Structure formats: C-alpha cells, structure tokens
Amino acid sequence: MHELILGSASPRRQELLNKMGFEFRVEVKETEEIVPDSLPAESVAEAIALKKSEAFGNLPEAHTLITADTVVVLEDSILGKPVDTEDALSMLLKLQGNWHVVFTAVVIRTNKQTISFTDSARVHILPMTEEEIKNYLRKDQPFDKAGSYGVQDWLGINFIDAMEGSFFTVMGLPTARLFAELKKLLGQ
C-alpha cells in the first residue's frame, strides 16, 4: 500500500488534494521560509517548497510526499504572507487596480526520486476602496495567504476580473499538473 503525505497545513491544499480523489495524511515540519535575496522571484516558491520537502529527511519505501509554496509577485517584489493587518492592507493597496503574477511550486518526492515544478498565473484585481479592503481583512482574515488574499474569498469573487492561467494555481495547488505527475509516479 502506498502512503501519500501532504506536507502542508493549508486547508485549501488539503481540500483540493481531497477533491482530486487522493487519500492522504497531513504532516507538517517546521521550515524557515528564507531564501537568498539574489534568487529570481519566479524561483522563490520552488526553493521554499524544496526546503519544506527536505525537512522530512529520508522517506520510507512506498511513501510519497507533496510539499508546495505560493508567492505573489508585483513588479519584481515578492508579497508573502502578511505579518499583521497593516502589512496586509499595504499589500492589497498595491495589488488593487493592477496585474500581478502568482507562482505556485510543488515538490513530489519518494525515497527514489524528486519531481518539482512551478506553475504561474497572471491575476488582475479591480480598484478597491481602502474601506472595502479593511472590511475584507476583518471578515476573511487572509493572514495565512500570500499577497493577503484568497482567490476563492470575497475579494476574489468580487474584484478579480481577469486571470491568465489556472484558478487552482492561484488558490495554492496546480491540480491538473499535480494529477498528471502523480498518475505517472504512482502508475495509475
């Protein structure tokens, strides 16, 4: 029997992997999400996803580990998870009215091989008032989300008017690519 482990506390990733039809258990290892400043923005999510995977050490036979990370990039600036309400407000004030890119990286690892990939999507958020942003922050508290928003939340539903790429990549897991890789790996 093959055991699938999701190395993520994200309820969104758990929901998506479940909806993909996989049985798995969740296990999270504390990882410092620090990368060199010289790393290009499009490589940051994959570097962090690899760190999360390496935190598990050697994997037993017949175990497959999935780790992931998502970053939001606006004009070469990485917007990670906000540190507090003011940080979240600042991020959303920058994002509103603009296009940005979301990078979600996935690492799939067994005791024999490692597969990693990054998917991206461009997202446009309509202009918002500061009061609308503050109400969103109070209501949805998106403090565990890169860029301070969830595509599936009130903000995403009401203010994302255009997207190039996968909705699920923006949500935190590029499901179609992950499904194809897992099918190949697990021989299904």
The verdict on whether 69 is a catalytic residue reads: yes
Task: From 136, 145, 164, 15, select the one nearest 82 (Cα to Cα).
Answer: 145
Neighbours of 85 (CB within 10 A): 14
**What is the DSSP-derived secondary structure letter of residue 37?**
T
d(CA 17, CA 11): 10
What 3-state DSSP class applies to 35? Answer: coil
Given the residues 69, 84, 87, 153, the one annotated as active site: 69
Task: Kindly list the catalytic residues.
Answer: 69
